[in-house]
Amino acid sequence: MSYTLLIRHCHHLLTMAGPDSSRPLAGANLGEWRSISDGYVACRHNRIVALGPMAELDETQVTPETEVLEAQGRVVMPGLVECHTHLVFGGNRAAEFQRKLQGESYLDILAGGGGILSTVRATRAASEAELLAHALHHLAGFRRYGVTTIEAKSGYGLDVATELRLLRVTQQAATLQPARVVATFLGAHVPGPEYHGRPAEYLNMLAADVLPQLDPRQIPFVDIFCEQGAFSVDESRRYLRRARELGFGLKIHAEQLHDLGGCEMAAALGAVSVDHCDYLTPAGAARIAALSGGRTVGVLLPLVPLFLRQEQYAPGRQFIEAGLPVAISTDFNPGSCPSKNLWLALSVACLKMGLTPREALAAVTLNAAWAIGQQEECGSLEPGKRADMLVLNVPTAEEIPYWLGENPVREVIIGGVRQQRE
């Protein structure tokens, strides 16, 4: 069977393929993945079947039926993987932006009934059709930035009915557009307003009334926000243990505002990722790498401290030196990161967290795929993986973070199909 799609004469073909496919890229390997000059990548339907230097292209597989894209002078790379978003919600929090500019902190606004709780009110009031329309709008925005796989958390319902509705909307949105969507249950975002001051009771309710209704084959991950004003380390541990017993993969929001030890606790339970990590120490990162055998990914979210005007950024350079695999995401949400621009997050990771351009590119592709259990499907250009690819309007990897905030995407291919410019 001939190739159905061929991208040829790629000025630089960034494969992201590392030396060990059994674990995420870490340490020196994070920046030492394979890059091919004057390369090609060939697909049959939705799968990559061959890639390499142009001199090795099998011309017999190129027929009049083959769709050919010329990529002279351009970078070709895997589709971006967004591994931490809060995709489905009602309303927005533009009114709180002014309050933040006047000096109110995230926790101050939350304690006054704003923050997450204001989005909860708007989300509960929104219809399922409205939530779906908003989710599809946001997914289209992500695709314009070259995101071909995206994780989507619930967490703005904080009651049984609305949380289940958010998960239904996520699953429906996944079927109505081409990007792969991976659902995470984040009912344990903060205690629901009906459980104010009773976080343990709220978690017990989720464990008894919601988790048993969810199918880990459809909702593969359970997440929790371990932080002052949300849930303690001990409360989070008990809840994640129960989720693990029910067959869910584990994630955690931790060390965002304080060093409480949530990241290490979750890694000890086998969490696939520990997210935020702004107050995680390099020593803690080394312990997480050792606890997990290098398989727990530290998901860094550089646009959050930027938008919240905080000085503390995760020490990404030290994490890499400590052996912790790192990924980069936006944390798209209405309160602390209303941005879908993963390229901007990549640049800020270089500027404020010490990553090199090559490391940051691996962090938004292969390592991000590991952070949501999709490493067998996406994140690198390798035969057998889904044909999710980008053609960029830049000639080298180093230029990608240099053009601050720009979208370099020329072509988006998802499952071997070129996407229409929207």
Return binding residues: 84, 86, 93, 156, 189, 253, 256, 331, 333, 335-336
Strand partners, 40: 52
Binding-site positions for N-formimidoyl-L-glutamate:
156, 333, 335
- Binding-site residue set for Fe(3+): 84, 86, 253, 331
Residue in the structure block whose two tokens are 């919601």: 210
- Token duo for residue 255: 């060390």
Residue among 354, 365, 355 at smallest CA distance from 392: 365
For residues 214 and 210, give the distance between their C-alpha atoms in angstroms, rounded to a whole number: 7
CB 305 within 8 A of CB 311: yes
Q: Which sign does the torsion angle of CA 413, 415, 421, 422 carry?
A: negative
Query: Binding site for 4-imidazolone-5-propanoate: which residues?
Result: 93, 156, 189, 256, 336
What is the rounded CA–CA span in Å between residue 283 and residue 377? Answer: 32
CA angle 392, 394, 395 (to 5 degrees): 115
Its sign, for the CA torsion 303, 338, 274, 323, is negative
Q: Which residues are annotated as a binding site for Zn(2+)?
A: 84, 86, 253, 331
- SS3 string of the chain? CCCCEEEEEEEEEECCCCCCCCCCCCHHHHHCCCEEEEEEEEEECCEEEEEEEHHHCCHHHCCCCCEEEECCCCEEEECEEECCECCCCCCCCHHHHHHHHCCCCHHHHHHCCCCHHHHHHHHHHCCHHHHHHHHHHHHHHHHHCCEEEEEEECCCCCCHHHHHHHHHHHHHHHHCCCCEEEEEEEEECCCCHHHCCCHHHHHHHHHHHCHHHCCCCCCCEEEEEECCCCECHHHHHHHHHHHHHCCCEEEEEECCCCCCCHHHHHHHCCCCEEEECCCCCHHHHHHHHHHHCCCCEEEECCHHHHHHCCCCCCCHHHHHHCCCCEEECCCEECCCECCCCHHHHHHHHHHHHCCCHHHHHHHCCHHHHHCCCCCCCCCCCCCCCECCEEEECCCCCCHHHHCCCCCCEEEEEECCEECCCC
